[in-house]
Amino acid sequence: MAAAQVAPVTQGVAVPQWGLVTRIAFRLCFVYFGLYCLLTQILSGLIQIPNWDMPDPGTVGPMPAMISWAASHVFRAKLPLVFTGSGSGDKTYDFVLAFCLLVLAVVATAVWSVLDRNGGNYVALNKWFRLFLRFAFAGQMLAYGMVKAVPLQMPFPYLMRLLEPFGNFSPMGVLWAAVGASPAYERFTGCAEILGGLLLMVPATAVLGALLCLVDVTFIFVLNMTYDVPVKLFSFHLILMSLFLLAPEFRRLWEFFVGNRAVAASSQPALFATKRRNSIALAAQIVFGVYLVAMNAYGAWTAWDKYGGGRPKSPLYGIWSVDEVSVDGQVRPPLLSDTGRLHRAVFDFPEMVVLQNMDDSFGYYGAAINEKDKTINLTKRSDNKWKAHFTFQRSAAHELNLDGTMDNHKTQMKLRLADNKFMLLTRGFHWIQEYPFNR
């Protein structure tokens, strides 16, 4: 909030007097940010239990009914709202939720202002709310930072991505592949976010942490806006939260960075009046901060072993070129009736096989590979009746023969392990380059 004016000293204690605009702004921010933190993923960032995913509070209780009503009657939304299971933070639900919270905050601010017309300040409430907001913000920075420091958010391009034409990538896919292809850069950005979160949790470094977080989330917001990443609304809220935390220090920051003048210590009050209680409060904040770091680190490393770089890979891992296909005893060019001319088979994840056609389209199949029995069973989500069953033999490390049935046709395939010398995998890093190597 804006810098408080200080009234004459009474009994040795300076009593700050807030102006009308400052009081109204605080009421609005207190209600809106408080509700937003309690009804979104921010709350789950503060309450973490191993192997338990807390649902977004905004999707339970009376909130879905209220949001659905507002979407239908205020915004005339026709399609059913998507509440969960999407992965997008820019759903119609998210925007309508923000609208509803803003309306509630404006109404609550108006009522509060009428009932407390003569209030002088909210110093006590402000310091505790800022404590809550510091850790709420820090929890998100740690969560997002940890899945970059352990490169999970943007994984290294999967085998299928290496084959897909660049022109088929979505803008978000371009960003994900570009960052994922440079794990060192992803780790650097993750460490910057973690550092901002760590600094936020310590009172003495909270201003520096808020400044660093403002830079981090502004950069994230720009990427979201320019690469169409559906976290625009949430990252914008993080910018607003960082500005709220920095607001009491705006004048000091201006004097220091722009005015090039010495500044006094922060005038923000401590949580308690005694040194002993403040020391205990500091210790509690550090302990809770360690808890947040440990939980996010545990979650990231667990995820790394499940679906990150440490995940299990297919027993037949690799990109295989299809050299020959025999259907019902007739040898023909690599051709399958439901996929077109077959070009490659990609074995990456244990539970999936991707078939690439000559026209660069892809078919995705559920896979169950039994190394002991040397069998492969394929299924399609789009057709429950479709199935394929093969036995496989590797006559050499780079040769794979499949024999079985596919879609009720006896099918045999001969596959050859591709060389896979992609420039993205082999180029590496070079300190010295006489000419740019930009391909």
What one-character-per-residue DSSP string does 209-250 give?
Answer: HHHHHHHHHHHHHHHHHHTT-TTHHHHHHHHHHHHHHHGGGH
pLDDT surpassing 50 at residue 1 = no
* Residue 340: predicted pLDDT: 54
Q: Indicate the burial class of 337 (C-beta count within 10 angstroms; 0-12, 13-18, 19 or more).
A: exposed
* 276-280, 330-334, 417-421: which is most confident: 276-280
pLDDT surpassing 70 at residue 337 = no
pLDDT surpassing 70 at residue 12 = no
pLDDT average, residue stretch 422-438: 92
Nearest partner of 367 among 357, 358, 354, judged by Cα? 354
pLDDT surpassing 50 at residue 150 = yes
pTM for this entry: 0.90
The more confident residue out of 97 and 384 is: 97
pLDDT average, residue stretch 27-46: 96
Sign of CA dihedral 36, 294, 177, 83: negative
* 71-85, 241-255, 337-351: which is most confident: 241-255
Please check whether residue 378 is in contact with residue 388, taking contact to mean a CB–CB distance below 8 angstroms: yes
Please check whether residue 35 is in contact with residue 129, taking contact to mean a CB–CB distance below 8 angstroms: no
Which one-letter DSSP state was computed for residue 39?
S
Q: How far is CA 225 from CA 210, 231, 233, 236, 407, in A?
A: 22, 9, 10, 10, 44
pLDDT average, residue stretch 187-201: 97
pLDDT band for position 333 (cuts 50, 70, 90) = low
pLDDT surpassing 60 at residue 10 = no
pLDDT surpassing 90 at residue 14 = no
* Residue 266: predicted pLDDT: 87
What one-character-per-residue DSSP string does 257-301 give?
Answer: HTS----PPP-PPPSSSSHHHHHHHHHHHHHHHHHHHHHHHHHHH
**Bridge partners of residue 388, in order along the sequence:** 378, 406
Q: Among 65-69, 129-133, 351-355, 418-422, which is the least confidently predicted range?
A: 418-422
pLDDT surpassing 50 at residue 108 = yes
Q: Among 72-86, 148-162, 185-199, which is the least confidently predicted range?
A: 72-86
pLDDT band for position 46 (cuts 50, 70, 90) = very high
Structure tokens at 92: 């119609």
**Bridge partners of residue 335, in order along the sequence:** 341
Q: Indicate the SS3 state at residue 390.
A: strand
pLDDT tens column, 341-371: 788 999 999 999 999 988 888 899 999 999 9
* Residue 5: predicted pLDDT: 42
pLDDT surpassing 80 at residue 94 = yes
pLDDT surpassing 70 at residue 384 = yes
pLDDT tens column, 155-172: 999 999 999 999 999 999
Domains of the chain as residue ranges with CATH: 14-307 (no CATH), 318-419 (2.40.128.280)
pLDDT average, residue stretch 396-407: 93
pLDDT tens column, 256-305: 999 999 998 888 899 999 999 999 999 999 999 999 999 999 999 999 99
Distance CA 288, CA 49 (A): 13
Q: Which helix (H) or strand (E) holds 140?
A: helix 123-149
pLDDT average, residue stretch 92-107: 96
* Residue 13: predicted pLDDT: 47
* Residue 353: predicted pLDDT: 95
pLDDT tens column, 295-331: 999 999 999 999 899 999 999 999 999 998 888 887 7
pLDDT surpassing 60 at residue 3 = no
Which one-letter DSSP state was computed for residue 3?
P
Q: Which helix (H) or strand (E) holds 304?
A: helix 275-307
